[in-house]
Structure 1
């Protein structure tokens, strides 16, 4: 059932993203996470491992990234406390969060953010009296959550993150959680690359300059015309007649 709920919220985020402005829309993200969780109640605490997930939308407003987020945490922690004439058992199960995340891109691939949320936690409380007065109650308690973290893109779509959260359920119970996550960011389609036109061919070099010599030959302007042949000798005089 938990996976079905998380899948439903992820699908809802995908549908909502189709209505977002492509100019400001950074993407739809979904992730799995896990870490260490400490549950506080009745002046006692219980620490253990936690697993969960998150889904949300991101909008890039010129370096400021904001968007709604849905989170889920599974951490069955239980505090056993001696309380007067008996023993109190307070157990926490799943937590759902519905909130807003806002952060700044300190580099094109690194996001530092803070978050706030409304949270709902399933709890069970039992009191075993030494004599009489036992009771049992299974309920959902509501409260608020604050947190922050850092998110680092590994590639165009995949990222890792580290996050800390504090949840207060306003029923003498709260929790402190540290998580590491791995997620995927489904961004809008990238614009088609602009293909530059091929460069224009270089113009053909101009023909070399020429000159016409006195003998009618055409040669390069940088060459010298041939020396004209010497004129023929004059004809010999005719002998005189006596």
Structure 2
């Protein structure tokens, strides 16, 4: 088993820890004219094959945190609609490698990138340091279905955090507890259009004004290499109660 490494360690030590667990590489990701180098598992499909082959009869922990989901990319592209980042705080939930939070930090938001998986936090911290964002971004473990961070934020982002109905009530309460009581404060959640979240919207409606936007994008079909049109829903939630 790999020796745990402090997330406060220097970049080279964090990279050594990541390389001891995975075959990794940095890949450029560009959003709205800004390019960041993002640490990725070099061959995610090969990793999945190995996990299946070695799991036997036991459960398989799939590294969902390592994939850059289309909803996360679309949410990162949505950042300019939130206005300038300087002087404002932002929290990313279920961040994985931290795509949205990293680009938010590049736009000047004081950003906290959170996830429950320790390797997600490791990758996100490496990405922060690799891209020179340590002055505006940090990482922390947070379970958005249960935890409280003891602070409020001007913006809360979450891509594909509506995947389990059992988390909906906890997520709605988390958002209410962490959004600043300010007219400009908002949570922005993005998800694949095919994932239904009707119950979450019903729960959140008691605390938030909710606006929905549907965004189309193209994704290559892995089987035939042809582009396919997909849809993503973006929800903007503003607290009903203000200070």
* TM-score bracket for the superposition, by shorter chain length: under 0.3
Give the structure with the larger helix fraction: 2
* TM-score in terms of structure 1 length: 0.24
Structure number with larger C-alpha Rg: 1
* TM-score in terms of structure 2 length: 0.24
Give the structure with the larger strand fraction: 1
